[in-house]
Amino acid sequence: MSQQPGQTSDGSRIEVVANIRNAADARDAVKAGAEGVGLLRSEFLFDNRDTAPSEAEQAAEYCAVARELGSDRPLVVRTLDVGGDKPLSYLPLPKEDNPFLGLRGIRVSLDRPDLLRTQLRAILQAAPLTRLHIMFPMVASLDELRAAKAILAEEQASSGHADVKVGIMVEVPSAAILAARFAPEVDFFSIGTNDLTQYVLAMDRGHPQLAKQADALHPGVLAMIAMTCDGARAHGKWVGVCGGLASDERAAPVLVGLGVTELSVSTPAVASVKATLARWSMDECRTLAQQVLALGTVAEVRAHLAQQAR
Ligand code: PEP
Ligand code: MG
Protein backbone atom coordinates (compact mmCIF):
# COMPACT_ATOMS: atom_id res chain seq x y z
CA MET A 1 0.00 0.00 0.00
CA SER A 2 2.72 2.49 0.94
CA GLN A 3 4.38 1.91 -2.47
CA GLN A 4 1.15 2.56 -4.40
CA PRO A 5 0.46 6.05 -5.79
CA GLY A 6 -1.53 8.24 -3.40
CA GLN A 7 -5.19 8.43 -4.29
CA THR A 8 -8.68 8.80 -2.90
CA SER A 9 -11.01 5.79 -2.73
CA ASP A 10 -12.51 6.79 -6.09
CA GLY A 11 -9.13 7.17 -7.79
CA SER A 12 -8.36 10.91 -7.71
CA ARG A 13 -4.57 11.22 -7.71
CA ILE A 14 -3.01 13.00 -4.76
CA GLU A 15 0.80 12.98 -4.82
CA VAL A 16 2.23 12.07 -1.43
CA VAL A 17 5.80 13.36 -1.39
CA ALA A 18 8.31 14.09 1.38
CA ASN A 19 10.06 16.95 3.15
CA ILE A 20 13.80 16.27 3.20
CA ARG A 21 17.18 17.86 3.85
CA ASN A 22 19.69 15.78 1.87
CA ALA A 23 20.33 12.74 -0.33
CA ALA A 24 20.19 10.25 2.56
CA ASP A 25 16.75 11.60 3.48
CA ALA A 26 15.69 11.27 -0.17
CA ARG A 27 16.66 7.59 -0.20
CA ASP A 28 14.73 6.94 3.04
CA ALA A 29 11.72 8.82 1.70
CA VAL A 30 11.56 6.79 -1.52
CA LYS A 31 11.90 3.55 0.49
CA ALA A 32 8.97 4.67 2.63
CA GLY A 33 6.84 5.19 -0.48
CA ALA A 34 7.25 8.92 -1.10
CA GLU A 35 6.48 9.76 -4.71
CA GLY A 36 9.09 12.48 -4.81
CA VAL A 37 10.17 15.48 -2.76
CA GLY A 38 7.83 18.41 -2.14
CA LEU A 39 10.27 20.39 -0.02
CA LEU A 40 14.05 20.23 0.03
CA ARG A 41 14.97 22.59 2.87
CA SER A 42 18.18 23.87 1.29
CA GLU A 43 19.21 25.93 4.31
CA PHE A 44 20.56 22.80 5.92
CA LEU A 45 23.42 23.02 3.40
CA PHE A 46 24.22 26.45 4.71
CA ASP A 47 24.00 25.61 8.45
CA ASN A 48 26.82 24.80 10.85
CA ARG A 49 29.67 26.22 8.82
CA ASP A 50 31.79 29.36 8.71
CA THR A 51 31.36 30.28 5.05
CA ALA A 52 28.62 29.90 2.46
CA PRO A 53 28.77 26.67 0.41
CA SER A 54 30.23 27.14 -3.07
CA GLU A 55 28.26 26.52 -6.26
CA ALA A 56 30.10 23.20 -6.75
CA GLU A 57 29.38 22.03 -3.19
CA GLN A 58 25.74 22.90 -3.50
CA ALA A 59 25.39 21.37 -6.96
CA ALA A 60 26.89 18.10 -5.72
CA GLU A 61 24.22 17.86 -3.02
CA TYR A 62 21.26 18.86 -5.23
CA CYS A 63 22.42 16.42 -7.92
CA ALA A 64 22.83 13.64 -5.34
CA VAL A 65 19.24 14.19 -4.20
CA ALA A 66 18.05 14.28 -7.82
CA ARG A 67 19.84 10.98 -8.59
CA GLU A 68 18.13 9.32 -5.62
CA LEU A 69 14.77 10.38 -7.06
CA GLY A 70 15.45 9.67 -10.72
CA SER A 71 13.97 11.33 -13.76
CA ASP A 72 10.31 10.44 -13.11
CA ARG A 73 9.86 11.82 -9.60
CA PRO A 74 9.44 15.53 -8.79
CA LEU A 75 11.99 17.43 -6.73
CA VAL A 76 10.98 20.79 -5.25
CA VAL A 77 14.02 22.74 -4.06
CA ARG A 78 13.31 25.69 -1.83
CA THR A 79 15.82 28.51 -2.11
CA LEU A 80 17.60 29.63 1.04
CA ASP A 81 15.13 30.36 3.85
CA VAL A 82 17.04 32.03 6.68
CA GLY A 83 16.39 34.88 9.07
CA GLY A 84 13.72 34.84 11.77
CA ASP A 85 14.22 31.57 13.64
CA LYS A 86 17.06 30.51 11.28
CA PRO A 87 20.19 32.68 11.69
CA LEU A 88 23.52 32.03 9.90
CA SER A 89 26.86 32.97 11.44
CA TYR A 90 28.47 34.17 8.17
CA LEU A 91 25.42 36.14 7.05
CA PRO A 92 25.05 38.73 9.76
CA LEU A 93 21.58 40.17 9.59
CA PRO A 94 20.84 43.46 11.35
CA LYS A 95 19.54 43.15 14.89
CA GLU A 96 15.81 43.48 14.59
CA ASP A 97 13.07 44.01 17.16
CA ASN A 98 10.81 41.58 15.29
CA PRO A 99 12.99 39.17 13.27
CA PHE A 100 9.96 37.15 12.17
CA LEU A 101 8.68 40.33 10.54
CA GLY A 102 12.06 41.37 9.17
CA LEU A 103 14.68 40.08 6.75
CA ARG A 104 13.57 36.48 6.16
CA GLY A 105 13.35 34.04 3.26
CA ILE A 106 13.18 35.66 -0.18
CA ARG A 107 13.87 39.08 1.37
CA VAL A 108 17.37 37.90 2.33
CA SER A 109 17.97 36.44 -1.13
CA LEU A 110 16.92 39.67 -2.85
CA ASP A 111 19.10 41.65 -0.45
CA ARG A 112 22.02 39.32 -1.32
CA PRO A 113 21.50 38.47 -5.02
CA ASP A 114 25.04 37.08 -5.16
CA LEU A 115 23.97 34.25 -2.82
CA LEU A 116 20.76 33.67 -4.75
CA ARG A 117 22.53 33.55 -8.12
CA THR A 118 25.08 31.04 -6.85
CA GLN A 119 22.31 28.89 -5.41
CA LEU A 120 20.18 29.02 -8.56
CA ARG A 121 23.14 28.07 -10.75
CA ALA A 122 23.80 25.10 -8.47
CA ILE A 123 20.15 23.99 -8.40
CA LEU A 124 19.85 24.24 -12.19
CA GLN A 125 22.62 21.66 -12.57
CA ALA A 126 20.13 19.07 -11.28
CA ALA A 127 17.63 19.87 -14.07
CA PRO A 128 18.70 17.05 -16.43
CA LEU A 129 18.45 14.46 -13.62
CA THR A 130 14.92 14.89 -12.27
CA ARG A 131 11.61 16.77 -12.60
CA LEU A 132 13.04 19.95 -11.14
CA HIS A 133 10.96 22.60 -9.38
CA ILE A 134 12.34 25.75 -7.75
CA MET A 135 10.35 27.40 -4.99
CA PHE A 136 10.81 30.78 -3.30
CA PRO A 137 10.01 31.08 0.44
CA MET A 138 8.17 33.82 2.36
CA VAL A 139 6.94 35.65 -0.72
CA ALA A 140 4.61 38.49 0.26
CA SER A 141 4.30 40.49 -2.94
CA LEU A 142 4.37 40.12 -6.70
CA ASP A 143 7.38 42.47 -6.82
CA GLU A 144 9.44 39.92 -4.89
CA LEU A 145 8.34 37.07 -7.15
CA ARG A 146 9.11 39.07 -10.29
CA ALA A 147 12.54 40.12 -9.02
CA ALA A 148 13.45 36.53 -8.10
CA LYS A 149 12.11 35.19 -11.41
CA ALA A 150 14.13 37.77 -13.36
CA ILE A 151 17.32 36.55 -11.70
CA LEU A 152 16.32 32.92 -12.34
CA ALA A 153 15.59 33.68 -16.00
CA GLU A 154 19.07 35.16 -16.44
CA GLU A 155 20.70 32.12 -14.83
CA GLN A 156 18.56 29.77 -16.95
CA ALA A 157 19.54 31.62 -20.10
CA SER A 158 23.23 31.32 -19.32
CA SER A 159 22.98 27.66 -18.21
CA GLY A 160 20.59 26.50 -20.94
CA HIS A 161 18.31 24.75 -18.41
CA ALA A 162 14.93 26.11 -19.47
CA ASP A 163 12.74 23.22 -18.34
CA VAL A 164 12.17 24.05 -14.69
CA LYS A 165 8.90 24.72 -12.87
CA VAL A 166 8.74 27.77 -10.62
CA GLY A 167 6.54 28.22 -7.57
CA ILE A 168 6.15 30.06 -4.31
CA MET A 169 5.49 29.05 -0.77
CA VAL A 170 2.29 30.47 0.66
CA GLU A 171 3.33 31.43 4.17
CA VAL A 172 2.28 35.07 4.33
CA PRO A 173 -1.43 35.97 4.30
CA SER A 174 -1.02 38.38 1.36
CA ALA A 175 0.14 35.49 -0.85
CA ALA A 176 -3.03 33.53 -0.02
CA ILE A 177 -5.28 36.54 -0.49
CA LEU A 178 -3.64 37.38 -3.82
CA ALA A 179 -3.30 33.78 -5.03
CA ALA A 180 -5.40 34.50 -8.13
CA ARG A 181 -2.97 37.28 -9.05
CA PHE A 182 0.15 35.24 -8.34
CA ALA A 183 -1.25 32.21 -10.22
CA PRO A 184 -0.60 33.41 -13.80
CA GLU A 185 3.05 34.00 -12.85
CA VAL A 186 3.83 30.67 -11.15
CA ASP A 187 3.58 26.99 -12.03
CA PHE A 188 2.52 25.92 -8.53
CA PHE A 189 1.95 26.92 -4.91
CA SER A 190 3.09 25.08 -1.78
CA ILE A 191 1.44 26.13 1.46
CA GLY A 192 3.76 26.37 4.46
CA THR A 193 1.23 25.97 7.22
CA ASN A 194 3.86 26.39 9.95
CA ASP A 195 4.56 29.99 9.03
CA LEU A 196 1.13 30.69 7.59
CA THR A 197 -0.41 29.81 10.96
CA GLN A 198 2.02 32.09 12.79
CA TYR A 199 1.28 35.02 10.47
CA VAL A 200 -2.49 34.52 10.25
CA LEU A 201 -2.88 34.22 14.02
CA ALA A 202 -0.08 36.65 14.99
CA MET A 203 1.35 33.92 17.26
CA ASP A 204 5.05 33.09 17.33
CA ARG A 205 5.42 29.49 16.06
CA GLY A 206 7.89 28.70 18.84
CA HIS A 207 6.09 30.45 21.69
CA PRO A 208 5.93 28.05 24.64
CA GLN A 209 2.64 29.35 25.99
CA LEU A 210 0.86 29.84 22.68
CA ALA A 211 1.97 26.60 21.00
CA LYS A 212 -1.37 24.90 21.60
CA GLN A 213 -3.39 27.78 20.19
CA ALA A 214 -1.15 28.26 17.15
CA ASP A 215 -2.97 25.40 15.43
CA ALA A 216 -3.02 25.09 11.64
CA LEU A 217 -6.58 23.75 11.88
CA HIS A 218 -7.74 27.20 13.00
CA PRO A 219 -10.68 28.17 10.74
CA GLY A 220 -8.79 31.34 9.76
CA VAL A 221 -5.87 29.27 8.42
CA LEU A 222 -8.22 26.86 6.63
CA ALA A 223 -9.94 29.84 4.98
CA MET A 224 -6.52 31.01 3.70
CA ILE A 225 -5.82 27.53 2.29
CA ALA A 226 -9.23 27.60 0.58
CA MET A 227 -8.46 31.02 -0.94
CA THR A 228 -5.14 29.78 -2.26
CA CYS A 229 -6.77 26.75 -3.89
CA ASP A 230 -9.55 28.87 -5.42
CA GLY A 231 -7.05 31.37 -6.86
CA ALA A 232 -4.83 28.59 -8.24
CA ARG A 233 -7.72 26.62 -9.73
CA ALA A 234 -8.92 29.66 -11.69
CA HIS A 235 -5.62 29.54 -13.58
CA GLY A 236 -5.14 25.76 -13.73
CA LYS A 237 -2.21 25.71 -11.26
CA TRP A 238 -1.68 23.06 -8.63
CA VAL A 239 -1.44 23.54 -4.86
CA GLY A 240 0.55 21.46 -2.39
CA VAL A 241 0.94 21.67 1.36
CA CYS A 242 4.41 21.20 2.83
CA GLY A 243 3.83 22.50 6.37
CA GLY A 244 3.27 20.17 9.32
CA LEU A 245 -0.49 20.03 8.69
CA ALA A 246 0.11 17.84 5.63
CA SER A 247 1.46 15.07 7.89
CA ASP A 248 -1.68 15.10 10.06
CA GLU A 249 -3.77 12.24 8.71
CA ARG A 250 -6.96 13.76 10.12
CA ALA A 251 -6.32 16.93 8.11
CA ALA A 252 -5.49 15.16 4.82
CA PRO A 253 -9.10 14.70 3.59
CA VAL A 254 -9.86 18.33 4.49
CA LEU A 255 -6.88 19.61 2.49
CA VAL A 256 -7.82 17.43 -0.48
CA GLY A 257 -11.42 18.60 -0.24
CA LEU A 258 -10.24 22.20 -0.38
CA GLY A 259 -8.36 21.49 -3.62
CA VAL A 260 -4.85 20.48 -2.55
CA THR A 261 -3.40 17.81 -4.86
CA GLU A 262 0.07 17.30 -3.35
CA LEU A 263 0.88 16.56 0.29
CA SER A 264 4.52 16.88 1.26
CA VAL A 265 4.90 15.07 4.55
CA SER A 266 7.55 13.87 6.96
CA THR A 267 8.83 10.47 5.81
CA PRO A 268 7.27 8.50 8.71
CA ALA A 269 3.85 9.92 7.75
CA VAL A 270 3.90 8.78 4.09
CA ALA A 271 2.18 5.43 4.70
CA SER A 272 -0.48 6.70 7.09
CA VAL A 273 -1.42 9.67 4.89
CA LYS A 274 -1.76 7.42 1.83
CA ALA A 275 -3.84 4.92 3.83
CA THR A 276 -6.15 7.68 5.06
CA LEU A 277 -6.67 9.12 1.57
CA ALA A 278 -7.68 5.67 0.33
CA ARG A 279 -10.59 5.68 2.81
CA TRP A 280 -12.18 8.88 1.47
CA SER A 281 -13.81 9.64 -1.90
CA MET A 282 -13.25 13.07 -3.45
CA ASP A 283 -16.91 13.99 -2.85
CA GLU A 284 -16.60 13.01 0.80
CA CYS A 285 -13.43 15.11 1.12
CA ARG A 286 -15.24 18.11 -0.39
CA THR A 287 -18.20 17.71 1.96
CA LEU A 288 -15.86 17.43 4.96
CA ALA A 289 -13.94 20.54 3.86
CA GLN A 290 -17.14 22.58 3.56
CA GLN A 291 -18.26 21.38 6.99
CA VAL A 292 -15.06 22.47 8.73
CA LEU A 293 -14.89 25.78 6.83
CA ALA A 294 -18.23 26.67 8.45
CA LEU A 295 -16.96 26.06 12.01
CA GLY A 296 -15.76 28.84 14.31
CA THR A 297 -12.98 27.45 16.50
CA VAL A 298 -10.04 25.04 16.48
CA ALA A 299 -11.78 22.95 19.13
CA GLU A 300 -14.86 22.58 16.93
CA VAL A 301 -12.75 21.64 13.91
CA ARG A 302 -10.77 19.05 15.89
CA ALA A 303 -13.92 17.59 17.47
CA HIS A 304 -15.59 17.29 14.06
CA LEU A 305 -12.53 15.59 12.54
CA ALA A 306 -12.28 13.19 15.49
CA GLN A 307 -15.92 12.27 15.03
CA GLN A 308 -15.48 11.71 11.27
CA ALA A 309 -12.15 9.89 11.52
CA ARG A 310 -11.84 6.64 9.56
C1 PEP B 1 6.30 26.18 6.78
O2 PEP B 1 6.48 27.33 7.17
O3 PEP B 1 5.23 25.56 6.91
C4 PEP B 1 7.42 25.45 6.13
C5 PEP B 1 7.23 24.28 5.55
O6 PEP B 1 8.64 26.03 6.19
P7 PEP B 1 9.60 25.95 7.48
O8 PEP B 1 8.88 25.10 8.49
O9 PEP B 1 10.87 25.39 7.01
O10 PEP B 1 9.65 27.40 7.86
MG1 MG C 1 8.27 28.42 6.61
Residue-level pLDDT at 287: 98
Assess whether pLDDT exceeds 80 at residue 7. yes
User: Could you give the CA distance from residue 105 to residue 139 in angstroms, rounded to a whole number?
Assistant: 8
Residues 196 and 298 in one domain: yes
Residue-level pLDDT at 89: 83
Residue 6 lies in a domain: no
CB 196 within 8 A of CB 171: yes
Residues 116 and 213 in one domain: no
Residue-level pLDDT at 100: 92
Residue 33 lies in a domain: yes
Residue 239 lies in a domain: yes
The verdict on the CB of residue 83 being under 6 Å from ligand 1 is no
pLDDT grade for 58, boundaries at 50, 70 and 90? very high
Q: Average pLDDT, stretch 231-257?
A: 98
Which region holds residue 110: left if phi is over 0, alpha if psi is between -120 and 50, else beta? alpha
Residues 108 and 71 in one domain: yes
Residue-level pLDDT at 142: 98
For the whole prediction, is pTM greater than 0.95?
A: yes
Residues 245 and 165 in one domain: no
Residue 294 lies in a domain: yes
Assess whether pLDDT exceeds 80 at residue 84. no
Mark which of 170, 196, 215 sits at the end of a domain.
170
Mark which of 144, 170, 196 sits at the end of a domain.
170
Residue-level pLDDT at 90: 86
Residues 29 and 131 in one domain: yes
Residue 225 lies in a domain: yes
For the stretch 195-230, pLDDT in tens is: 999 999 999 988 999 988 999 999 999 999 999 999
Q: Which ligand 1 atom sits closest to the C-alpha of 41?
A: 9
Ligand 1 centroid–CA 160 distance in Å is 31
Residues 310 and 239 in one domain: yes
The verdict on the CB of residue 171 being under 6 Å from ligand 1 is yes
Domain that holds residue 127: 16-170
Residue 177 lies in a domain: no
The verdict on the CB of residue 197 being under 6 Å from ligand 1 is no
**CATH number, residue 191:** 3.20.20.60
The verdict on the CB of residue 266 being under 6 Å from ligand 1 is no
Residue 292 lies in a domain: yes
CB 139 within 8 A of CB 78: no
Say which residues have a Cβ less than 8 Å from residue 75's Cβ, sequence separation at least 6: 36, 37, 40, 65, 66, 69, 126, 130, 131, 132, 133
pLDDT grade for 266, boundaries at 50, 70 and 90? very high
